[in-house]
Chain A
Amino acid sequence: MSRWRVALLVARKDLAIEWRSRVVLDQVLPFAGVTMVLFAFALDSDAVLERVAPGLVWLAVLFSLLVLVQRAFAVEAADGALDALRVAGVDPMSIYWGKGLSLALQLLVLEALLLAAAVVLYGAEVPAEGVVLLVTTSITATPGLAAVGTLYGGLAAGFTGRETLLPLLVLPAVAPVLIGATRAVESALGTAGAATSDGWPWVGLLTVFAVAFGVGGSLAFGPLIDE
């Protein structure tokens, strides 16, 4: 069976588990929503909120990513399923792609909802010319986040104290995504007079990041979960 077919099976299985357990709907989404509301209370100024809305959205995405990754590997560890996949000779690259794909799809939904929340809570406005940049930013940033999350989620899964180890590994690694995606969304929203065209180089950075971590993660995931 081809790598992609196995990856799709793994992704479908992960999404079925999520659909059944409703962790994204019942826990991650409220968590992200509460985070954004707290940011609003903490900053307490419409002008400041509108200025920092893109960064706050991506910070909320990063925090939610940690919860999603913990969950994605907790279901594998609960009854030794990841070990069983390894023992059964399932290609680690397929597991990596499958879990990454599932994570990316969940993140995309979350980002769309958080951007909508930013419009409501922070008064952010999306000009028509910024929509394409906004969508492209989300599409290029998400695979990078999923690639990093899956790679380090697999690594941390084998350690005691994985809950505290994961943020230490993931947050520094995704800093380029936070910066790039924030700048690109600022350009898409026209925050502080930024032009839409200013955002495209950041989209380039996000693409390079996603490709680099996608390729690196594909190669490293097997050895990392093997020990």
Chain B
Amino acid sequence: MDAAPDPEHEHPARPVVELTDAVALLGPYPALAGATIRVDPGEIVLLRGPNGAGKTTLLRVCAGLVPLSRGEGRVLGHDLRTERAAVRPRVGLLGHSNGLYGDLTVRENVRFWGALVGATGDEIDAALERMAVGGRLAEVPARKLSAGQRRRTALACLVARRAQLWLLDEPHAGLDAAGRDQLDDTLRAAVAAGATIVVASHELERAGSLATRTVDVVAGQVRSVA
């Protein structure tokens, strides 16, 4: 008897994100006003647009945090109308804060997030190494890290908890030039390891060189694709 098809591997080229005429309200106002976007596996998509254009809301819709009022949406094969709870554990949303515990070491932070999904010690070590926060740095309390090291630790937490879609809101903010280079390298490494990334950024030159595709978000709509 054949095994039942695994829905996650049935269609390898199935889009990771697929929104069609998506409308999302923040209070009475439509922060997304009919956005349509498709993100395929392995892409790094840059969302660009002015403040208040709807970039952050688009990320939060994809993370299953903001419900759709109208339109259709699927993330990692899950319907955003009926399966938002199933989306959250597989998506990593990194905003302006890193979600780290300052009194815990880098390793303890990554281990905590990994343990929530049953990650093994080897997986934790691999996550630390992949984001270049292993070795002696792993034993340093998070509060003693530089901004770039904190960012990379937060990304290691996403790796440890096996997030497949990374939604990054201004990931380069607060980093110096070296930190930005290192962040870009780690993001490329993450994609090479199977992640898909959507980045909202105002730093167009930096994020643009990283992205495989750029999308304009204007007044809650996805206007153009470069």
Contacts and interface: CB of A to CB of B under 8 A. Distances in A.
Interface of A: 1, 6, 9, 13, 16-17, 20-21, 75, 78-81, 83-85, 87-90
B99 A89 contact: no
A159 B91 CA distance: 27
Nearest to A6: B116
Nearest to A76: B101
A79 B98 contact: yes
B104 A87 contact: no
Interface residues of B, number: 31
Nearest to B63: A87
Contact of A13 (B85, B89, B95, B101): B101
Nearest to B60: A87
A17 B113 CA distance: 15
A23 to B, nearest CB: 9
B99 A79 contact: yes
Contacts of A81: 99-101
Contact of B101 (A6, A75, A87, A88): A75
Nearest to B92: A88
A20 B118 CA distance: 24
B88 A87 contact: yes
A13 B92 CA distance: 20
Nearest to B115: A9
Contacts of B52: none
B116 A21 contact: no
Contacts of B96: 80
A87 to B, nearest CB: 5
B76 to A, nearest CB: 12
Given A80-B97, A83-B97, 8 more contacts: A1-B117, A79-B142, A80-B95, A81-B100, A85-B99, A87-B88, A87-B91, A89-B88
B88 A88 contact: yes
Interface string B102-121: 11100010001101111000
B98 A9 contact: no
B75 to A, nearest CB: 12
Contacts of B179: none
B88 A79 contact: no
A9 B115 CA distance: 8
Contacts of B39: none
A16 B108 contact: yes
A85 B100 CA distance: 10
Interface in B130-160: 141-142, 150
13 contacts: A1-B118, A6-B116, A9-B116, A20-B103, A75-B102, A80-B97, A81-B100, A81-B101, A84-B99, A87-B91, A88-B88, A88-B92, A88-B113
